[in-house]
Structure 1
Amino acid sequence: MSMKQCLFILSQYLLPHHLLSRLIGCAAECRAAWFKNRLIGWFARQYQVDMNEAQVEDLSAYAHFNDFFTRALKEGARPLDQTPGAILSPADGAISQLGPIEQGRIFQAKGHSFSVLELLGGDAQRAAPFMGGDFATVYLSPKDYHRVHMPLAGTLREMVYVPGRLFSVNQTTAENVPELFARNERVVCLFDSERGPMAVVLVGAMIVASIETVWAGLVTPPRRQLKSVRYDEAARGPIHLEKGAELGRFKLGSTAIVLFAPHQVEWNAGLASGTPVRMGEALALPRT
């Protein structure tokens, strides 16, 4: 690592993650026109955000920065791949890693992996269906569309909020912070799908003010402790989402990880670390 990278990694351990994220979250909700218009305009220029595909193209029309950051797209901007059985990318971004889950661990970056058990909140019964299965990790950059969608149609079985740190998520931290995705705060969404159990994990990061789902809204318990909510027949009643339907969104952040049980999916051969993807593109086909 360069000295700059070493200092950046050191700062990740020293910074007050949640305090910093709360402060930035307050700024991102500020409605004062002079402030939010300058912030949104600067961000759009800095990260070359393509507003031509946004449902609302006028930057000044957004109520606050988070409203802009979680902007909706025009109808048809993300057509869904129509290949029968195709497993879709849940988000815009780039493939961080994808492949098999080996010995209960997911590859993170050179020399680093993390535990499926820890990623899903430490419950062995919850993690068991994915042992020996497959994963795909999609990193969302600041300029990307920040809503997360269903890779397949599914019925929600359980949502788990897992408290944790808020390390920045990028190539440098992936290569140098052990167990990064199993250490950061995250929301685990477990579904029953046509390919069996499917998990979509929304991972927070530094300055990620919040994670929302379409069925629960803002998912940040008053006390940052692990919380599981069942959505089966005996609990709250089933919630079914079609393939490509919005699942949730990030307010300033981060990464989506999709997990499948063994022998269910075959990742497209052209995908590798760093491959850009768009929501609705096919990541995989059913394994025969």
Structure 2
Amino acid sequence: MHITNVISQYFGKFARFEFPAFIQTIINSAYVKFLGLNMSEFRNPKFYKSLNDLFTRELAIPREIEKADNLFISPTDSLITQCGKIEKELALQIKGMEYSIEELLTYNCAENFHKMHDGDYMNFYLSPKDYHRYHAPIDFEVKRLLHVPGKLYPVNLKYLNKQIDLFIENERVILECIYKEKLFYMVFVGALNVGQMVFEFEPKVETNCDTNEIKIYEYEDLKVEQGDCLGYFKMGSTVVMLWEKDFVKLENLLGTNVKFGELIAKM
């Protein structure tokens, strides 16, 4: 097991631990103040029984989502660190740092590689202060979930600029998605500290555990609606979205912060 996984497991134990209420309130309040969390849409920090509860907090005030069947909304609150055209089979993790989408998706998706060549991509970075839940960007059908074990390097801008093939090295969960016979992928990339990802429709997925085996879950008629909560990161991380060629036109969002529910692409 890589040192990043070990560190994340130990931090995860601390984050899950429920201290006595008055101590937990101090820890939570210090975390909120230190990172500058905006808690206006959430419960009071003292409500959360552990740091894990605070990391994975639900919206106390639901957001109004204007649903549309020809628009993709942001699945997360995040910074768009890179987006654009997939050049044949290459995308950018950050300016000047290419990675192979074929390696990202693994050979298990080889039958669809040709569809993704010259398609589009967008990278969403969730910092530790962001809302950590991820949502359906449009109505779609989940065909497969792939859990790919790996390391847990940090995914902040510093590491994106220095760690080659970071998205490929790190543990990830891949959703293969269909919208009106068009293909897109959502790739959830693990990161240092806790390093766990939860999917509400698939409780069998267990990330940051001692395994090297890629696990694949296949579904028939598993449909989700735009805005549905798919799951959550236990700490900050990254989502990569990949669309097949001639599917979407991306909004010009490079370097901007987006909120879950905001427009990111049109058909």
TM-score class normalised by the smaller sequence = over 0.9
- Where does 1:1-288 land on structure 2 (aligned, <5 Å)? 16-33=3-20, 34-54=22-42, 57-76=43-62, 78-82=63-67, 85-123=70-108, 124-194=110-180, 196-217=182-203, 218-220=205-207, 223-232=211-220, 238-269=221-252, 271-272=253-254, 274-286=255-267
Contact 1:199 1:258 in 2 (8 A): yes
SS at match of 2:154: coil
Query: Deviation of residue 111 (structure 1)?
Result: 2.0
SS at match of 1:225: coil
- Normalized against structure 2, the TM-score is what? 0.92
Structure 2 distance, partners of 1:126, 1:29, is 39
- Letter aligned with residue 256 of structure 2: T
- Normalized against structure 1, the TM-score is what? 0.86
Structure 2 distance, partners of 1:253, 1:208, is 9
**1:46-83 deviation digits (Å, cap 9, x = unpaired):** 111111211xx22222121111111111343x332445
Considering only aligned residues, what root-mean-square deviation do their CA atoms show, in Å?
Answer: 1.7
**1:255-282 deviation digits (Å, cap 9, x = unpaired):** 011111100100113x11x211000000
SS at match of 1:52: coil
Query: Deviation of residue 197 (structure 1)?
Result: 1.0
| Shift in alpha-carbon separation, 1:283–1:91, aligned structure 2, 3 A | same
- Letter aligned with residue 241 of structure 2: V
**1:143-178 deviation digits (Å, cap 9, x = unpaired):** 111000111111110000111111111111111111
Gaps of 5+ in 2: none
Gaps of 5+ in 1: 1-14, 233-237
Structure 2 distance, partners of 1:128, 1:246, is 30
Structure 1 range deviating more: 248-257 or 38-47: 38-47
Structure 2 distance, partners of 1:257, 1:170, is 14
Runs of 4+ residues deviating >3 angstroms = 81-84
Task: Give the % identical residues.
Answer: 31
Structure 2 distance, partners of 1:197, 1:106, is 17
Query: Deviation of residue 116 (structure 1)?
Result: 0.8
- Letter aligned with residue 211 of structure 2: R
Query: Deviation of residue 118 (structure 1)?
Result: 1.2
- Letter aligned with residue 216 of structure 1: E
Contact 2:69 2:139 in 1 (8 A): no
Q: How many residues align?
A: 262
